[in-house]
Structures are given as structure tokens and as C-alpha cells.
Structure 1
Amino acid sequence: MEGLTLILLYLAIPSLVYSAIQQILSWKKKKSVTTVAKFPGPKQYPFVGRIHDLPRFSMWLKFKEWADEHGPIFQTRAVDQTFIIVSDEKIAEELLVKRGHIYSGRPQIRSLINHKEGVGYSALMDRHDTWKTQRKWAHAAMAEAYKHHFYGHCEKEMKRYLGLLLIDPARFLDYTREYCGRVMSRLAWDDATQGKANGDSADTTLHCMSVSGPITNTVTPLWHLPSFMNPWYNFEIKREKEQRAWWLNNFRLAKDRMLKGTLPNDTWAYRYFEQLKREGNESLDQEEEQEIFASCMIGFVNLVGVVTISGPLKFFLMAMALHPEWQRKAQEEIDRVCGDRMPTMKDFPDLPTVRACLKETVRWRSGVPLGVPHQAERDDVFRGVPIKKGTIILACEWSLNRVPEKYPDGDNFRPERWLEPGWPTYQEPLTRYPNFREGQAMHSFGWGRRTCLGQNIVDDEMFVFGASYLWAFKSGPKICPRTGVPVPIDTQATNSHVILEPLPYHLSFKVRSEERARLILSNYQEVMGELKV
């Protein structure tokens, strides 16, 4: 594959040369123009900017290095694309919230087809009528489900998860992503058996939209090669076709059940079909284009709910194993509040240490360390510096989460920052804070008009997972059977997608008591029939 890539790269050279000529001509036009103000940043080189030393993997570490050198707002360039990197919350708020009417576009992801204008990826669309319709519908659907704490699906799926972990602990990473996929698939279509497929589909989609994914996302001229010699384009055509067919098939199966009266009213599909009925469409007949629109709307909400939660949960398992003192503190709290019964959402106010460990996990190892990119939709001037239409703005989460004034000792896992007065992030009452719905450090969910709609399900799903897992198991690094020493865990080894998961790592698990082992198996048996395990 590497040889093929090199051949194709050479074939792309004419496009690169053409781009270079265009840039030279633009420079000539600007010769007579007075030099304009710029934000500070690393030295830029002709044609390439700084693309030559900008890593495709763990790019946020380079941005943090440059932020330390050049300040909380700096700019750089990759060929002809300008980036402005922000590492200060107030600056991010000024640009992405107060000027959200300017900086709420989405940049072109080369290896995703028609994502800015089409119906398939609402979080990646430009702001147009399709985006507004889908976002409004998703917001209302998520808010209604939150009123009922997602109908208890998180607790039911945790009973399955704990049973599987007890029986086959080596597959804990697979089960963690599947847990997230099953919760979302149950909410979407009442089919939790789609959980694994949902997780796998989400992971593949993230690969295709990430800088660390197809080389065409960074060497964009390769995308324009003829299809017979363009493996990236052909892969994406096939992937998107299969994903849309899968979404549409689930949508139509749900419609058949709605007509038969067997679709539960706590699903998002039911909510959609009920709206059609209220509009007078009792037969639920629609044009295929309308069905594709709706199936993509529900399918993408379903997909995003997997990838935004599975990564943080995997990092949480890692953090608990590497910080046994906090694992012990959280378990003592759970035992005091819950005893031998498995925790539920009703225990939320009484388990602040559990919530602090979860909140600190997302700060310590952000699931979106680069931040999701915004694009300027028109020319603007900020603090005397012109910002051209098309400029990409990144509020770098990795840097924001390490600002020493806000997050002292930011490189280390310190849950006490959310629990003890005197820390900048401390909030009262502890029956309410910390959480993922409101309060400090909510920038993890994005900014302004492009803020993620999933804070509530993240809050519920992560709490139920964290509290139930710590109620059931003790964990630590796996001990090598040959050397007798712990197997190292690289906490920064990730897939480097836009939304991260850690690379596979090893843990050891021990159920906390025989009584809890019995309860885990009893709970698992209780939900087997309902969850189609």
C-alpha cells in the first residue's frame, strides 16, 4: 500500500504545482499592498506553510507546544489553508459564541462526500435549512428522553455489561463500546442487538473524517484522481452506501412495527412517526428522499452517541486502574450510599466522588483534544487582525484543559479539583456539581451554535457506568505472567481520530465480593430476555 501511495502522490504533483502557481500569482498581486496584521505563530515556509512538521497523529500536542511559545491565539497554515488555534476560554467565547453568526461553518473534510450540503451528518453540515431542521428535531428528542432519564436503558444495559465483564473480562474494551452502541440503538429503533454494528460503523466513519485517517484528508489533490486509481474515493463510496442502507433498513423496520402497534413509544423512531400521524399521514407513506432524510437524522444522532461516550469510558477504566487511591475513595462512597445494591440514577446527588472522577477523566484525557473545527463564514476582524472567510478556528481542548490558572497541575489526574474549596473549578452544592450538563469546563461539548446536544445523555450514561462498574469490580494494570510486573499502559496512545478512543490496553479485574458476583449474575439473567443478549 505504501508503494501505491507514493505512486499516487507523484501523480498528484501537477495539482500541487498548479496550487503553487496560484499562490505565486496571488503574492504578486499583493506586492503593492501594505503588510496586514497577523496573529503570532510558528514560522511559515513557502507553499507548504507548516504542514511538513504538523503530525497526523496526536496533533494536539504540537498545538499545545506552539501555544506555550506563541500565546493563547496563534495562526499557522497548511498549504493554502489558514488555521487559528485558540487556547483561552475567553477568546474562544468571543469568537465562537458572541460571534457565532460568523464562526459556525464547518470545513470541508475531503474524504467525506457531500457532508456540508447533504443530509447524512448534521454535526458536519454548514448552517442551512437541512441542518436547522435536523438539529431542532434532535434537540427536542434528546430533551424529552432526558426527562425520563433515558427510560432506564443505561441501567439495564449495565446489568448486561457487568455480567459479560464477570464472565469474559479480557474483552472489556469491546464490551464498553458495545454498551454505548446498544443504549443508542435501543433509543433509536428499539433494537439493542445493533449495538456492535453501531459502534463499528461509528469508528469507521470517524476514521474517514480524521486527519489521522485517509491520506486524502491531508494530501487533498489525491482525492481528485480518477476513480479507477483512487482507493480512498472508492472505499468512501462503498462505506457511505452501506451505512445509509443500514440506517434506512432500520428505519423501515421501525415503521413496520409502528403500523403494527409494536414499536415502543420511548424510541426516537416512534417520536418521528407519531409526528407524521399528527400531520395527517396515518399510513406513514413518504417519498424515498423523505425516508432517507429521516433515517439519516436518527441514524447520525445514534452514531454520535456512541463515539462521544465510549472513548471517555475507556479512559475512565484506565484512570481508575492507574489511580487506586481514587478508585478506593469512590468505592467507599458507593458502599456507604448503596450497600450491596447496584447504583442507579437516583444515587446521583449522593455520589460526588464518582462524578468528580468521571469529570476529571474527560479533562485529563479529552475525547476531542483538538476541538471540533469551526470555519469563518465571512471576512471579519478580531483584535485588529483580519480573518478571511474560510479560515478554520480550533479551540484546542488539550490546551484549554491545561491552563494553569484554571486547572493547576493540569497534566495529572486530580479529581479533588471538583470536590475541594480553593480549587478554581470547585462548585457547590456537591449534590449537583460536578456534572456534564452545566457548570465548569463545559467547553468539551463545543461552542455556540455548534454545541453538542448530548450533554444530558453523557451525564446519565457515564454516571451509571462509572458508579455500577466501581460497585462491582476492583481493577488494576494486568500483571505479566512471565515477569510478574505490571504491563505498562500508555495513557496517550490513541487512534488520533477527531473523537478519540485509547488504543487497546490490558487490565485485571476482580469482583469485589461473592455476594456482588451473585447479584451481577442475577441481574444479568433478569435482563437477558428483554435485551436480547
Structure 2
Amino acid sequence: MALVNLLIVLSVLIVATLWKRFSRREQIPKGLKKLPGPKGWPILGSVPEIPEALGWIKFSDWAKEYGPIYQCNLAGTNHVWISTDQIAHDLLSKKAAIYSDRPHIPALIDDNRTSAQYLPLLSKNEGWTRQRKFASNIMRHAERLSFSHYPELEAIRMCVELMIEPEHYNHALESFIARVTSRLAWGHSEASDELKQRARELLIGVSPTGALGNKLPPIMALPDWLSTAKAWERRRGKTERAFFNIMQNDVRLDMNEKRAAPSWMKFFFEHSAATGFTGDLEGAYAVGMHGIAGALTIAAPMQAFCLAMCHYPQYLGQLQEELDRVCGERMPTLGDKPNLPFLRAIIREVIRWRPPVPTGIPHYLIQDDVYNGYHIPKGSVMHPLEWAISRDPQQYPDPETFNPLRWLEPEYPTYREPLTQYPTILNMTQFGYGRRTCQGQTVTEADLLVGIGSIAWLFNISKNAQAPLKSEPELPPTPLRSNNKASISYEELITGLSTRSNDDEEDEYVARMPCTFPPPTEDELHEQYFKDLKKQQDAEEEKTQKTREEDPTLHFSTLLIAKPLPFKFSLTVRSRSRAENVMGEFIQKKAEGEFGPSRQYWGPAQGAGKEIGWGKV
């Protein structure tokens, strides 16, 4: 009986939610056009057409079909996808006053838009304003006090872990980032494992393909005992708050005992009155969220670097030559940055080639808008589609190929001087647009330069013979299909004029038809044209799908932050003397107390069965 009641309640909630969404009729003002896009299904919209894995490629394919800005209905919400940097700037930067809010994330119990818990997910309000100012201040403070020695210190431990257990490279890379971020946030690294877990759980909570509450929002209206997804989220939230409070109190104690290392939390206590925060809890979240944000994203490009070097090994040799010339027998440091343009090019190209947030972080439109004759309705979720933006063939010739030389040789449109400064990842599109630009760019740059540089300085990377990878190192993966028959070209969007119609294509098709007697009727020609067109499109789609299945560089996680799935490859030390030097530094720093063990916060089994602790991920 309880199950029947649950199903009835759930059904009513679902129907009510969908009816509320679909009862709104989109009104297109006179003289404006509706954005193109897939028609979709009743109620669900285009949801059934989007694959669980590599969904961003489907959105990119639609951009090739419908044009550089299009819309689609996803379960009653209008989503607008932007596939060029120019349009993203025109809307999200130049019109930031109406495009800077964030959409509601149903799976979070506390409203992400107003709770002041998650700065990147806050809508534009007073909490967002004061926390953004605080973020700017702590980043400048970190740069001024040379917090860059944190990644240089943790790179030693990372290299030792890679030497001892190279097969656990994912753990080593993610721990490197978590330890650096933990030091930045609270002054010490012992919270790194907990920080990784907090990041994993929050990522599930905010990802469209993660928590069930994002796929089926009505379940979040049910009581906890009827909704395991809601109960899981409530426990996650309680554990996160407890963790942030513990870390804040630890720094307070360190400061009282005059032994606090430089950190963002220490800065908060020293300037708490100037922040305008509502209390210490907001400060705990402001610092903790920056810790989680760093732990979430920065490891992904490091993992993608290993993937790229397995399939484009010619660039690893060039990178190692530069590192050997500049650094010699010592590990690279952030101070080497001006003299390492090839390393910076590798990092920039890794992020372009396999962006860690391929769908972009969504914006939310707070009022109706017009773009070149097209109506964009209020309440639209706006996506700067990074996968497509980073594959603009005009800006990035041969975009599917990993090629760091595009940043270093004058014949490429991406080349900039001086090479002591460029290439740089600062202000690249992956960090966002307008008022939602990521403020942790300098931290990301320092982590990647020192982390990736240290790996290439010490190790050779090559594909393992037993790895499930098929293409040879010298053969780049087959490029993805390019459909140039977009219904709106970029030029058409700018001018508002169409230069080609479907009738033109059909006329060309008729002209190519072989002569027959008696000649086919106009209706027969029309019907045959569309049959052949559908057959051609199906063949192209099948070919594209096969290419993706065979491309070993496209095996990625399905959550909002896309990370390469673990794969087998060979990681071998280049120089015994370097390995011994790194091990010696590790032993010395460990004796000084720098590399202590990770701390457990919730007791045995990480709090299994208790009110707070690790959730299932």
C-alpha cells in the first residue's frame, strides 16, 4: 500500500510540474523570429535524443545543423546553445546585466541561487557581490605572498607517488591538486582526501546527468523517507557544512597558537569585518567552495595531458627538450614560466582539445532579449558550448588534432607575442564570460605549469602494449564529422539574410538525376530527394558514431566536469639521478613534517551508517 501511495504522489507531482512548464505558451513578438533547433518530443523535448556519454558532441552536432545559436526544449525548460566565441561575448559579456544569473539546480536542497553557499552557482545578488569581491582579494593575496610554493612543494610528493605506483596515476594527480588546494584554503594538506570526496559528491549534486533530482525534480518535493535521492543530498549538505566548520576552527586555533600557515581562511579572519559577510559560516563556505572548485576541475587537464602524450608522442620530446634546457637537473618552478613557452602551449592546447567543462557553465536569462532578429525568451538557460567554441575551424585549423604548435608559430591565427607571456591560459573561454569569469585562473595556471612540467621533466609517457588503445602513436584520431549544411550560418546570423535554401539543394539534386522515361513527376522527385537525404544523413551518423566508439581519446566521464576515464599507459623514469634527487627531497620534507598522512573526519568506514559521512558516489 505504501508503494502504491508513493507512486500516486510521485505521478501527481510529475504531472503538475510538467503541466506548469508546458502550459506556458512562448509568445514571439511581432517582427522577430524563433531560434531554430530540434523539434523534440512531447513533454520530454529533446531529452531522448541526447546520449548519456559525450552529450556535448551531440549539442555540437546540432550547432552544425541548426547554426551557431539554437535552442532546444529539455523536459520543459528552454536551453540556448552558443557555439562561437563572438556570440558568447555579444550576449554573456556585453549584456551581462541580464545574462549573469544562474539556473536553479533542483537536486540541491538549499537553493543554489540564494543560499550564499556556492559562489560559482549563485545568482547575481548581494551574496554574490560580496563573495566575488572576497574571491578577488584572496587571489591577489595568494599571489602577493607567493602561495605558488605550495604546488612546487606538492609536486615532489606527486612525483614520488608516480614512481612508486604509476598505475594509480589518477589518484596521484587528483591528490596533488587536492593537497595544493587544501593548503591554499586552510594552510595544510591533511584534508585532501576529504576535499576530494566533498568535490565528488557536490559534482554529482550539480550535474544534469548526476543526481536523480536533476533528472526528475519532483522527487525533491517528497519527504526524505520516500526519496533516497533527497536523503542522500541532505546528508551530503550536512557533512559538507560540518567539514567546513572543522577546517575553519582548525585555522582559528592555529592563529591563536601563532602557528598558522598562510591561507585564504587566515586572510578571512584577518579581514572579516571588511568582507561584509553575514557571519563566520559564510566565510567557511566562501573559502571551502574555492577549495572544492579547485579540486573539481584542475586535475582533468593533467589527466588529459597524459592521454594526449600517448597519442601525440612527438610533442613530449619537444617539451622535455625545453624543460631540460631551462631547468636542467632541478624540478620546474613557477619562476620558469617566461622561459617555458612550449609547456604553456601544451597546457593551453590540452584545455582546448579536451575542455574540462565541455558544455560550459550555464547562465540564466532574466528577461526577454533579441539577437539579430531572433527572440530569446526570459528564463532560458544559456550554454556557451565550449566543445564547439574550441573547435571553430577559422580560429583553430584542423581542430580535432592536438597541436600545441598552433600557439607558437606565426602562420596560425592563435599565435601571439611575446612568447615570454604568450601562450597563456589566462582569460581563455573555458574560464567563462562576463561577470561569471572564474577568479581562480592564476591558481589553475600555477598548478598546471608546475604539475605537468614536473611529470614531463621526470617521466617518459607512452602507450602500454596491453592498453585497450587501437590507433598507432603517429596516427591522430579520425576527425569527427563536420556537417556544413547549417540552417543558419554565422554570416546569415549577422546579416539576417539567408543565402541558400533547401529548394536550391533540391534543384541541384534534380539536375543530377539520370534521365528516365517516362520522366518522374514533381511529387516523386520531391519524395525521392528526401528519402535519399535521410539515407545519407543516417549513413553519416552511423559513421560518426563508429568513429567515436573507436577513438580512444573520447572515453570520458559523464558528469559536468569531464575527465578522461582511467586507461593503461607506460610511465617510466627518464633519469635515475633525477629520481634520487626527488626522493631525497621528499624524505627531507617528510622529516620536517610537510607530508603528513591524510586525516579521517568521520570515524571508522568514513561515517558509514551515521548522520554525516561519505556518501555513495
CA distance in 1, matches of 2:4, 2:439: 41
SS in 2 for 1:468: helix
Q: Give the AA of the match of 2:105.
A: I
Segment drifting more, 492-501 vs 153-162? 492-501
- Pick from 317, 329, 333 the counterpart of residue 340 of structure 1: 329
Alignment of 1:98-109 (within 5 A): 98-109=94-105
What's the TM-score, normalizing by structure 2?
0.79
Q: Give the AA of the match of 1:463.
A: L
Q: Which runs of 5+ in 2 are unaligned?
A: 474-549, 597-617
Q: Which runs of 5+ in 1 are unaligned?
A: 280-285
Alpha-carbon contact 1:157-1:182 (below 8 Å) kept: yes
**Between Structure 1 and Structure 2, whose CA radius of gyration is higher?**
2
Alpha-carbon contact 2:17-2:218 (below 8 Å) kept: no
- Pick from 258, 269, 272 the counterpart of residue 265 of structure 2: 269
Alpha-carbon contact 1:161-1:175 (below 8 Å) kept: yes
Say if 2:13 is the partner of 1:18: no
Which residue in 2 is equivalent to 1:424?
A: 413
What's the TM-score, normalizing by structure 1?
0.91
SS in 1 for 2:72: strand
Deviations 1:198-221 (A, max 9, x none): 112112211111012022212222
CA distance in 1, matches of 2:142, 2:153: 16
Which residue in 1 is equivalent to 2:210?
A: 213
CA distance in 1, matches of 2:380, 2:249: 41
Residue 151 of structure 1 deviates from its aligned partner by 4.1
CA distance in 1, matches of 2:49, 2:206: 21
- Pick from 87, 93, 97 the counterpart of residue 91 of structure 1: 87
Which residue in 2 is equivalent to 1:282?
A: none
Q: Give the AA of the match of 1:498.
A: L
Say if 2:578 is the partner of 1:516: yes
Say if 2:443 is the partner of 1:447: no
CA distance in 2, matches of 1:267, 1:117: 26
SS in 1 for 2:40: coil
CA distance in 2, matches of 1:329, 1:443: 26
Alpha-carbon contact 2:100-2:364 (below 8 Å) kept: yes
Residue 23 of structure 1 deviates from its aligned partner by 5.9
Say if 2:56 is the partner of 1:67: no
Alignment of 1:489-500 (within 5 A): 490-500=552-562
Say if 2:459 is the partner of 1:473: yes
Alignment of 1:186-205 (within 5 A): 186-205=183-202
Segment drifting more, 67-76 vs 14-23? 14-23
Which residue in 1 is equivalent to 2:365?
A: 376
Q: Give the AA of the match of 1:532.
A: F
Alpha-carbon contact 1:8-1:222 (below 8 Å) kept: no
CA distance in 2, matches of 1:318, 1:181: 21
Residue 458 of structure 1 deviates from its aligned partner by 1.0
Which residue in 2 is equivalent to 1:411?
A: 400
Deviations 1:87-123 (A, max 9, x none): 0111110100000000011001111122111121111
- Pick from 63, 73, 77 the counterpart of residue 73 of structure 2: 77
Segment drifting more, 235-244 vs 109-118? 109-118
CA distance in 2, matches of 1:373, 1:96: 10
Which residue in 1 is equivalent to 2:179?
A: 182
Q: Give the AA of the match of 1:456.
A: T
Q: Give the AA of the match of 2:594.
A: L
Q: How large is the Cα RMSD of the aligned pairs?
A: 2.8
Residue 146 of structure 1 deviates from its aligned partner by 1.9
Residue 424 of structure 1 deviates from its aligned partner by 0.9
CA distance in 2, matches of 1:44, 1:480: 43
Residue 22 of structure 1 deviates from its aligned partner by 4.3
SS in 2 for 1:491: helix
Deviations 1:425-466 (A, max 9, x none): 11111111111124xxx1110000001111101111100111
Residue 14 of structure 1 deviates from its aligned partner by 2.7
- Pick from 566, 569, 577 the counterpart of residue 504 of structure 1: 566
Cα separation, partners in 2 of 1:5 and 1:523, compared to 1, 3 Å: farther
CA distance in 1, matches of 2:291, 2:421: 27
Q: Give the AA of the match of 2:581.
A: L
SS in 1 for 2:249: helix
Alignment of 1:42-61 (within 5 A): 42-61=38-57
Q: Give the AA of the match of 1:12.
A: L
Segment drifting more, 382-391 vs 4-13? 4-13
SS in 1 for 2:552: coil
SS in 2 for 1:186: helix
Residue 78 of structure 1 deviates from its aligned partner by 1.3
Q: Give the AA of the match of 1:89.
A: D
SS in 1 for 2:271: helix
Alpha-carbon contact 1:352-1:433 (below 8 Å) kept: yes
SS in 2 for 1:358: helix
Which residue in 2 is equivalent to 1:458?
A: 444
Cα separation, partners in 2 of 1:80 and 1:243, compared to 1, 3 Å: same
- Pick from 151, 156, 160 the counterpart of residue 153 of structure 2: 156
CA distance in 2, matches of 1:132, 1:178: 31
CA distance in 2, matches of 1:71, 1:194: 46
Moved runs in structure 1, 4+ residues, more than 6 A? 4-10, 481-489
Q: Give the AA of the match of 2:562.
A: L
Cα separation, partners in 2 of 1:517 and 1:104, compared to 1, 3 Å: same
Deviations 1:225-280 (A, max 9, x none): 3322201100000011001100111101111111221112x21111111114889x
Deviations 1:299-342 (A, max 9, x none): 00111111120111111122122221100110011111221111
Say if 2:112 is the partner of 1:115: yes
CA distance in 1, matches of 2:251, 2:576: 42
SS in 2 for 1:12: helix
Which residue in 1 is equivalent to 2:257?
A: 260
Deviations 1:408-428 (A, max 9, x none): 111110111011111111111
Cα separation, partners in 2 of 1:21 and 1:435, compared to 1, 3 Å: closer
Residue 180 of structure 1 deviates from its aligned partner by 0.5
Deviations 1:130-179 (A, max 9, x none): 11111110111012212344241111100111111112212111011111
- Pick from 31, 37, 59 the counterpart of residue 33 of structure 2: 37
Q: Give the AA of the match of 2:438.
A: C
Which residue in 2 is equivalent to 1:526?
A: 588
